[in-house]
Amino acid sequence: MREKSTVVCKQEPGVIVPIVDLRRCEGKGDCLEVCPENVFEIRRIDEADYRNLGALHRFKLRVHGLKVAYTPNAEACRSCGLCVEACPEHAIKLTRSI
């Protein structure tokens, strides 16, 4: 497990939020390990999210144990970008909060 580093974040919390593309995410947890704000959790994909995926993506998720990253604390994000850099599947992007 990687140690969380001290980072100078770019924004006040909640201005920018991470969006996880569930079609790409394999739930490996790299985002969870590097996030200094504890924005992420790795857990079983919600049934509604699973049903919204195509057959190929559902199969891929089964291969990876049906685990994906969710962002229950997205409002804590300070836009450091470590999660984007750490994700091997390029499944995370940062976007302005609505």
* pLDDT, one tens digit for every residue, the chain (98 residues): 445 555 666 778 878 999 999 999 999 999 999 999 999 999 999 999 999 999 999 999 999 999 999 999 999 999 999 999 999 999 999 999 87
pTM of the model: 0.85
- Fold for 16-96, please state it: Alpha-Beta Plaits (3.30.70)
> Tell me, what's the pLDDT at 1?
46
SS (H, E, C) the chain: CCCCCCCCCCCCCCCEEEEECCCCCCCCCHHHHHCCCCCCEEEECCHHHHHCCCHHHHHHHHHCCCEEEECCCHHHCCCCCHHHHHCCCCCEEEEECC
> Tell me, what's the pLDDT at 7?
60
